[in-house]
Amino acid sequence: MSTKQQSNSISIQNLSLSFGKTEVLKKIDLEIQAGEFFSFLGPSGSGKSTLLRAISGFGPTPSGSIKIGDDDITNLPAWRRNVGMVFQSYALWPHMSVRKNVAFGLEERKIAKKEINRLVDEALDLVSLKDLADRHPSQLSGGQQQRIALARTIVVKPRVLLLDEPLSNLDANLRVQMRRDILSLQRRLGLTTIFVTHDQEEANTISDRMAVLDDGIIQQIGSPVDLYDNPVNRFVASFLGSANIISGQIKNQQFKSSNNLTLETNIKKNKKCDLIIRPQSIDISTTKKQNKNSYQLTGQVLYFEFLGQTVRYFVEVQGHEFIIDCQHTKDKKIINNNEKVFLNITTDQILFL
Amino acid sequence: MESAWNSFYVAGVSVVIASAIALPLAYFTSRFNFGGTVLIQTLGIVPLIMPPFVGAVAMQLLFGTNGSLNLFLGDVFGWNIPFMEGLNGVIFVQSIHYFPFILINLSASLANIDRSMEESALSLGSSGMRLFRRIVLPLGMPGYIAGASLVFIKVFDDLGTPLLLNVNNMLAPQAYLRISSIGISDPMGYVISVILVVISLLAMYVAFLAMRGKEYSTTQKGGGGLMKRELSFKEKIGVYAIILTILSVVLSPHLALTLLSFSTIWSYSIWPDAYTIAHYTEAIGSAGHFITNTMLYAGVAATIDIILGTAIAYIVWRTGIKGRKALDYMAMSALAVPGVVLGIGYLRTFHSTNMPFTDIPLTQFWLIIIIALAIRRLPFALRACTAALQQVSIALEEAAGSLGAKKYSTIKKVVVPLMTGGILAGFVTSFATAAVELSATLMLVSAESDAPIAYGIYVFMQSAAGRGPGAALGIVAVLIVALGVYVSGRIIKNADKKNAITSDN
Ligand SMILES: Nc1ncnc2c1ncn2[C@@H]1O[C@H](COP(=O)(O)OP(=O)(O)OP(=O)(O)O)[C@@H](O)[C@H]1O
Ligand SMILES: [Mg+2]
């Protein structure tokens, strides 16, 4: 290893990859900063694992380039990349004890025995499982296996850490606990990390930035808040949380849906587009209010769901069904089914995409 | 005592040499992508289907004191290599004959290893031989041990080869010579037989101990086994060179046999004097029924074996039924009974029992051959099935169970399909070796029209004039069985492909 501080940013340019004739990744461009916690988020089959595996050197040879820092690793074999990968199945070797599993990568690097012992203890300490060092993987719980897999990977100080749905085999409580542990570990070690998940809450809570993938294409990159507030298309809007999405057309600065729901806009260009409003951005009331800079709609409550901190109303407006989330506080009146309601939406809460 | 030590020595060294032959073949064909892997695997199994007594004859022709190689060395350099002398000869013939046991079982095991096991090692900086030695081979241990213990036991109690090479100071020939010369009531013969059986059982027990308490199953069956790497041009040449060298040695008996089958006269010369195809017309003209009999007997016996093998493996490893271990030992103990001893046993047991509704003694009915073959080959199938089962994680089964699948349908729909590779390996070993089994059939064949091909070859080989046609018939046998092996190899490969797509993550 070189003595100068290596930068461990990741830079992916124009990366495409096919299994046989089916193209699974399409022209991926991606820059990840050194030390960043970055997530790939997307539905099943969107290519998250494939992209992660391409970075670690597995799967079919892609076209395009992958760099870590200044080093082009596109054509390096997996074992020379120094990229740490934690597998969804953990992939602990059943024929080795926990200690042996963790020591493996260090042994491959021909490090002195004493040093290996010290580093292994340190890594096991980091995941607080020093007591289990002499067990075999089959004698561990899922969460413990997960930690060992993590320890085995970070003990070799990889340039980047890749995690493919590391929490998906754990129960809900453990997932929350583990994701905090992973994050604090990552911060402490300053590891550039990519985390694959299809759970948006997981991605939101843990990531500095994330990329939303669909159909082998990166749809959008940004911070969780940024992606939520400013989705670039219908897919991202609907994938991150719930959204009211109505398709229609803009003509002469007027949005018109298929059912002739009409809203003024200041967009000059005529085009087909989707109207997007988050459920909590709509104010619902049984009395009419006059607000500046807002749209007024009238509708009828179809039904509602009481969720505790919010009440979710399903409201029909000109043949479109809107979802509206309303904060609930003690003794706040709930609007009944079939009641006539007035919806109030400030203009800046609406996106035309 | 000397005989016992010799038997140990020969069996042990044969395992080492057989491993040295089988490991590179298994390693290259399972790890790398290059043309002809299935063909190479098939050729690697072919030695097993040479009847040992025929193999010994052929190898004498090539490597014996007056064989081609030594005549050639004598002509050119003026010295000889005593390949075929004494114990060395036995070791040489046995290693070449039995190494496919290791190859088959190890390859099946390697094909079952979860891809992520290897990938995680790769991403930790391991590669090449080290990766193979530290991760891949240990995970393939169930298959290797299954194969190696078979080699040990078969060599340990094989009779035909030492007899043909005139090596009598080993246990099996001692037992045979005593029983055949003094008679069925000689106590010393039985004592030696018992020693044979006990030591074979012991060897199996040691193999069992080596496997016990170790966890080899990998949770997911991902990606259809090991990752296959493309080779560069140089690497390809190297790999082909190594494989060709190995194959040319292990297939030399077949080469000799082929030459013999086409030659008019061949003795005390490097090459045969002249060539002819007359032996083939003679062999096929008079031996068609040998071929159909063989297919029938070996096919039925091997089918019985894999069904029983799967069932027993499952009962022993996945249920808590009382006496399940005893069942395993019982099935495996057939292995420890030399063919001759088994043959004698059958004759004594069934001789006075008639077929139901007929007056024919059971021993004169061809079904007895199938039963004998099935029992004798059951251990092969059982080992293969056990190795396959040990690699199917119990979690997969529990998953099916938790979805409401009954035990039987879990086995049918989950366990057996995941074991396909191993089961087919078991079928191949059972079929191939049953097809050329001589010692038990020799004792049990009562009418020539019921006889299998090994018997035919043996009868031909008795006379000097029959060696040509015998060799021709041997070649036919080898071709038939090789074809069967090749076809099942293709089936395994296709099944793997299917798994690779459906269970990839
Ligand atoms: N070995 C393979 N052969 C052929 N196609 C494959 C293979 N592996 C993946 N694919 C295809 O590539 C696409 C992307 O798969 P990938 O595993 O990357 O999805 P993913 O986003 O990780 O999904 P998940 O959330 O379910 O893990 C899918 O359409 C899949 O069918
Ligand atoms: Mg995935």
Distance from C-alpha of B373 to C-alpha of B436, rounded to nearest angstrom: 10
Structure confidence at residue A3 (pLDDT): 40
Best probe residue, ligand 1, of A18, A50, A53 (max atoms within 8 Å of C-beta)? A50
In degrees, to the nearest 5, what angle opens at C-alpha B12 toward C-alphas B10 and B17? 90
Q: Beta partners for A246?
A: A275
Helix segments in B183-323, DSSP class H: 187-211, 233-250, 252-262, 278-318
Q: Beta partners for A306?
A: A311
B275 φ/ψ angles, rounded to the nearest 5 degrees: -120, 155
Structure confidence at residue B226 (pLDDT): 60
List the end-to-end C-alpha distance of chain A, in Å, as a whole number: 49
Whether residue B500 has pLDDT greater than 50: no
| Closest-CA residue to B63 (of B98, B99, B88) | B88
Place of tokens 């019921």: B450
Distance from C-alpha of B386 to C-alpha of B147, rounded to nearest angstrom: 12
Q: How far is residue B311 from each of residues A16, B142, B378, B387, measured CA to CA in Å?
A: 48, 18, 12, 13
Q: How far is residue A287 from each of residues A280, A281, A295, A299, measured CA to CA in Å?
A: 18, 18, 15, 12
Tell me, rounded to whole angstroms, the distance of Cα B358 from its chain centroid: 37
Best probe residue, ligand 1, of A15, A17, A18, A19 (max atoms within 8 Å of C-beta)? A19
| 3-state secondary structure labels for all residues of B324-341 | HHHHHHHHHHHHHCCHHH
Distance from C-alpha of B319 to C-alpha of B314, rounded to nearest angstrom: 7
Structure confidence at residue B219 (pLDDT): 46
Which ligand has an atom closest to residue A43 CA?
A: 1
Q: How confident is the model over B77-93, as pLDDT tens digits?
A: 666 666 666 788 888 88
Interface of B with A in 200-219 (CB under 8 A): 214-219
Quote the DSSP letter at residue B380.
H
Quote the DSSP letter at residue A328.
-
Structure confidence at residue A52 (pLDDT): 93
- CATH code of B2-215+228-504, in short, is 1.10.3720.10
Full pLDDT tens readout for chain A, 353 residues: 444 456 899 999 999 999 888 999 999 999 999 999 999 999 999 999 999 999 998 888 899 999 999 999 998 888 889 999 998 888 888 888 999 999 998 988 889 999 999 999 999 998 888 899 999 888 888 889 989 999 999 999 999 999 998 888 788 888 888 899 899 999 999 999 999 998 888 999 999 999 999 999 999 999 999 999 999 999 999 999 889 999 999 988 889 988 888 888 888 888 898 999 999 999 999 988 877 788 889 999 999 999 989 999 999 999 899 999 999 999 888 999 999 999 999 988 999 88
pLDDT grade, residue B441 (50/70/90)? low
| 3-state secondary structure labels for all residues of B103-125 | HHHHHHHHCCCCHHHHHHHHHCC
Structure confidence at residue A120 (pLDDT): 95
With a 6 A CB cut-off, is A303 part of the ligand 1 pocket?
A: no
pLDDT grade, residue B46 (50/70/90)? confident
B393 CB neighbours in chain A (<8 A) are none
Q: How far is residue B185 from each of residues B181, B182, B344, measured CA to CA in Å?
A: 11, 8, 12
Q: How many interface pairs between A and B have CB atoms less than 8 angstroms apart?
A: 90
Distance from C-alpha of A155 to C-alpha of B23, rounded to nearest angstrom: 33
Cβ–Cβ < 8 Å for B415, B397: yes
Q: Beta partners for A194?
A: A38, A162
A84 CB neighbours in chain B (<8 A) are 123-124
- Does residue B228 or residue A152 have the better pLDDT? A152
Contacts of A191 (CB under 8 A, 6+ apart): A8, A35, A154, A158, A160, A161
With a 6 A CB cut-off, is A58 part of the ligand 1 pocket?
A: no
Structure confidence at residue A25 (pLDDT): 95
With a 6 A CB cut-off, is A45 part of the ligand 1 pocket?
A: yes
Ligand 1 centroid vs A48 CA: distance in angstroms? 8
Query: Would an 8 Å CB–CB cutoff place B38 in contact with chain A?
Result: no
Q: Is A108 helix (H, G, I), strand (E, B) or coil?
A: helix
Q: Is A19 helix (H, G, I), strand (E, B) or coil?
A: strand
B99 φ/ψ angles, rounded to the nearest 5 degrees: -60, -25
With CB atoms and an 8 Å threshold, state whether A79 touches B127: yes
| Closest-CA residue to A40 (of A188, A139, A156, A162) | A162
Q: Measure the CA dihedral B335/B337/B339/B344, to 10°.
A: -150
Q: Where are the domains of chain B?
A: 2-215+228-504
Cβ–Cβ < 8 Å for B460, B466: yes
Query: Would an 8 Å CB–CB cutoff place B503 in contact with chain A?
Result: no
Q: Which residues does A contribute to its contact with B (CB < 8 Å)? A: 49, 56-58, 77-85, 87-91, 93-96, 104-105, 108-109, 136-138, 149, 152-153, 156, 158
Interface of B with A in 71-130 (CB under 8 A): 114, 116-117, 119-127, 130
Q: Is B199 helix (H, G, I), strand (E, B) or coil?
A: helix
Of all residues in chain B, the one with the smallest CA distance to A53 is: B119
Contacts of B487 (CB under 8 A, 6+ apart): none
Structure confidence at residue B216 (pLDDT): 60
With a 6 A CB cut-off, is A197 part of the ligand 1 pocket?
A: no
Distance from C-alpha of B54 to C-alpha of B80, rounded to nearest angstrom: 23
Structure confidence at residue A219 (pLDDT): 96
Structure confidence at residue B186 (pLDDT): 61
With CB atoms and an 8 Å threshold, state whether B130 touches A108: yes
Q: Is A127 helix (H, G, I), strand (E, B) or coil?
A: coil
Distance from C-alpha of A243 to C-alpha of B483, rounded to nearest angstrom: 63
Mean pLDDT (whole number) for B169-198: 69
Whether residue B170 has pLDDT greater than 50: yes
